Amino acid sequence: MNKEIINIVGDSNIQYINSKNPVLVAKQLKTILSESCSKYNCLISPMGTKPQIFGLYLYWATNPTNTSLIYNAPLRHNDLFYSEGIGKTWILPTEIDSKKE
């Protein structure tokens, strides 16, 4: 499905976002979407890493106007890559310092 979307959108319109730092994700989304979301309604479906999803929430919590989140639910899990049990615990940055933007 991603291949089909990329073919429609085009490689030159793909933008990459940090996968480990939620604060950077929120800042990158603000930069990427600031013009679009002021003109249009933006629908975002988080399908990335857990820190990316948390960063998306940080963005949405500080920029809720014209932005909606749509969550997906897989029809089935890929057992080879499905996590089980408790792994490492990460402490992630959560504060967006608007003075540094």
- Count CB-CB contacts under 10 A for residue 47: 12
Distance CA 11, CA 31 (A): 19
What are the pLDDT tens digits along the chain (101 aa)? 578 888 888 888 788 888 899 999 999 999 988 877 778 888 888 888 889 999 999 999 887 778 888 887 778 877 887 778 888 888 888 776 555 44
The verdict on pTM exceeding 0.75 is no
Could you tell me the residue ranges of all domains in the chain?
21-72
